[in-house]
Every structure is written in C-alpha cells, then in structure tokens.
Structure 1
C-alpha cells in the first residue's frame, strides 16, 4: 500500500507545481491558490467526521482568533456559529488542527508566524502546522528560530516558550517535514527533527507524505477517543512500509 502514499503525494505536489507554472509573479494569488489546493486535498482524503475550512476560532471567553488559513474541525459534533461560503466561525473545542500557509519565507515572516501561533494558544489545544510553499533549507529555518527575539531579557527557547512554536513545519522546495522532538546530540536537547524515507522520488514527496500522515493521525486519534473507542482501529500510517533513510535536526534548548 505504499503506492497509495506515492499517488496522493504526487497528486498534491502536481497541483502545487501547476501554481508555479501559471502564476509566477503575484504572491497574494499564489498564496490563495496554495491554501485552496491544500484545503481541497485534505477535504478529499481525510475522514468525513471533519471539515476543512478557512475562518476564525472563538475561545471560551468569546474572544476571536485572527483568521486561520486552514481549520480542521469536528463538524459531526459541532456546527459553525457562522458561515458564508467556505469561511466559518467555529468553537475552540471543535478544532483539531490549524495550518498557516506561507508562499515563501523570510526571517520577518517566520517570526510573525511564531507570534501568530503564540496567540493561538489561547484558543484550545489544536495541533498547529506551518506550511511553506517556497521554503528555504532547514539550516535557514534553524537560524530563524534561534534569532527570534523573546519578550524580556531571556533570549532562548525553554519549555514554556517552546509551546509557542508550531508543532510541525513543512517546507516544499527546499523540502522537509519538521516535528517537535527530542534531539540526541552531545547533550540531550529539545527541538525539531525531520525524517526522510528510502524509495521516494524526491524530498518533496517525503515532506508531503509526512505532512498528510501527521494530519490524518490527528483525526484518527480524535475518532478513536470520541467515537469508536476501539484499541483495534488500524492507523493509516500502518499501511506505510517505508524504510528510514536519514534524519535532520534543529536543536533549540537543553533538557
């Protein structure tokens, strides 16, 4: 069944590449198209318990989030408070994942994204993703993380401020899929790791496959906890028989 993951990753990559072919110089349009491609892909391939929309999240104190590019929420149990076309306002307790989409990345854009995810911590415990369409390499992403200016006198991430960061960061061209993790170095540290598998036709496929499997896993865990409550529910990633090829890491702070 690993061919399944090849096919769906190639499908997503092909649609993203078409944007580069036809829209070359208008970043706002590229950004809107990338968001819509990702939303449409996830609507097609995720279980129907969830809906994939853009919009806003309402917190427990009726405060409203900034606009979210992609919200994945349980539409089986929760109806939106408001909807116009595909823009919704949904309660925080319904939201499983939030994806922020960037056309390209600079230090300022990346730091603004950190601030955005910090604000989202007031709106529940959804898993957070940063998706970068034209990314820089992992080394530059590490530089952006380490150059972030924290409030006050302390200028490095720790256990508390680590929670500000997106749980996962996906880059396409340069390509990677980073997840918060323990980094084994001379001393144990916390940071991000990116896994690559053998037998893939490029890092883009590996990144997109990991991106999809991660989001699918979030939905599966929600279904298992709230609907089926079965220990025998087979996970989608169980069908993936890839062999590990390599791991890259960004260490951020000592444990």
Structure 2
C-alpha cells in the first residue's frame, strides 16, 4: 500500500503543477485547486456514508463557522441545510473532521491557521482537525513558527487551554512528515507534537499521505461505529497497510506537562 500512496502523492503534486503553468500569478486560484485535489482524493477513498465538501458549520444557536476548505461530515444521517456552487452549510453535530489546506505556508500564515482553529471554540465541536500542506516547510521551521506565536497577555507560551484548539494533526507532503498531538520527551517532559518516521522494505521514508489518510479513515470508522449499524467484525482499513517500525522521532515541545 505504501507504494500506492507514493504514486498518489506524486499525482496530487502533478495536478497542482499542471495548473500553475496557466495560473502561476494567481495564488488564491492555486490554493482553491489544491483544496479541490485533496477533496477529490478523499471522496474517492472514504466510505460513501460521509460527505467531503467545502463549506460552513452552523450550531443550534445559529453560530456560524468560518469557511472550511474540507468538511468531512455524516451525510447518511444529516443532509446539508444549504448547498450552492459546491459550498454547503452543515450542522455542527454532523461534522467528523475539518481540514485546512495550504499549498505552502510561512510564519504569518501558520499563525493565521492557529487563530483559524481557535475560532471554532464557540461551536463546541467533537470533530478532529487537520492542517495539510503540499509544499511544507521543514519540521524545524514549523517548530520555530509555533514558538514565535504571540499569545494574549504576558504569558508567551501555549498551555492546556490554548493547545486544545491547535490542529490535532499536521501533514506535510514535500518535506514528508505527519505530526500528531501528544506528550513528548525532549529536554523536559512536555506537551506538543510528534512525528514518527518509518522505513519501508526498500529503506525509504514512508509517505506522509498514507499516515494522513489512515488517520482520517480511522476517524471516520470510529464515527460510523458509534453512530451507525457498523459491523465490528469488519477489519479496519489500517489492517490492509503493513505496520513498520519507526526509525526516528521528531518532537515539537510547546509547554511543560
């Protein structure tokens, strides 16, 4: 399966590169194409009981989210309240995952992403959150961007409250990695992000797209198991992807335990 995702990753990059030949001077359009490419990939590979679209989230009190690049929601039990031109408005309780997509990202853009995910606080979502970057900075650069984020007040470090609203997972394709929230052992016992690097049978790094896809698929499986007549006897998708031992770990230390 890993080799399949190598090819899919190359295909996603190729589609965006082809578009840039014609619209290289219009970054918003390139960004929209990147979102569409990833949405199509997920539409093709996720169960039919979920919808994969762009749009907005509304709660019972009428609170409305910012626009989401990719919304994965339970389309079996919940129909969108509104749909026009490929954009939907869906109820908060239907949302399974939110994915913010970037073709590339710098310090200011990453700080905007942090504020973007914090904006969902009032909706009290149970959805898993992802940041997906096609042309990703190095892990060291991502770590520096997190540590230069300006917090409100004098205390300039993340804590349990602010950490809660950061994206649950961060995927980079070009600099290949997949960061997950958790406890990290660095210079101190801390909370932050970890990226595990795996080896396949030829000794190359496993593709980050596969880690991202398996995470999204597992999140969908968990939702279907809880809310649908979903047979627990069915093997999870991850069972069809051979497990591999990690050979190195990178940690982003954000605040002490």
Q: Encode CA deviations 1:135-161: one digit per residue, 9 max, x unaligned.
A: 110001000111111111211011111
1:151–1:29 Cα change, 3 Å:
same
What is the CA-CA distance between 1:21 and the residue it aligns to? 4.4
CA distance in 1, matches of 2:225, 2:95: 16
Q: 1:66 to 1:201 in 2, by over 3 A?
A: farther
Secondary structure at 1:65 match in 2 = coil
Q: For 2:70 and 2:81, locate their aligned partners in 1 and report how far apart those are by CA, in whole Å.
A: 17
Can you give the 5+ residue segments of structure 2 that lack an aligned partner in the other structure? Answer: none
Map 1:36-55 to 2 at 5 A.
36-55=36-55
Cα displacement string for residues 5-59 of structure 1 (whole angstroms, at most 9, x for unaligned residues)? 4314522431223322441533222211110111001001001110100000002
Structure 1 unaligned regions, length at least 5? none
How do 1:55-74 and structure 2 match up within 5 A? Answer: 55-74=55-74
More divergent stretch after superposition (103-112 vs 241-250): 241-250
Deviation sequence 1:159-195 (CA, Å, 0-9, x none): 1110121001111212211110111234321110112
Cα shift at 1:237: 1.2
Q: How does 1:100-119 map to 2 (within 5 A)?
A: 100-119=100-119
Show the counterpart of 2:199: 198
CA distance in 2, matches of 1:21, 1:79: 34
Query: What does 1:80-159 correspond to in 2, within 5 Å?
Result: 80-123=80-123, 124-159=125-160
Residues 229 and 50 (structure 1), Cα distance of their counterparts in 2 relative to 1, 3 Å cut: closer
Is contact 1:58-1:91 (8 Å) kept? Answer: yes
Q: Is the 8 A contact 1:170 1:208 kept in 2?
A: yes
- Report SS of the residue matched to 1:148: coil
Give the distance between the partners of 1:182 and 1:101, measured in 2 at CA. Answer: 25
Kindly indicate whether the alpha-carbon contact (under 8 Å) linking 1:102 and 1:133 is maintained by their aligned counterparts in 2.
yes
Total equivalences in the alignment: 251
1:238 CA drift (Å): 2.1
- The normalised TM-score by structure 2 is 0.91
Runs of 4+ in 1 over 6 A off after TM superposition: none
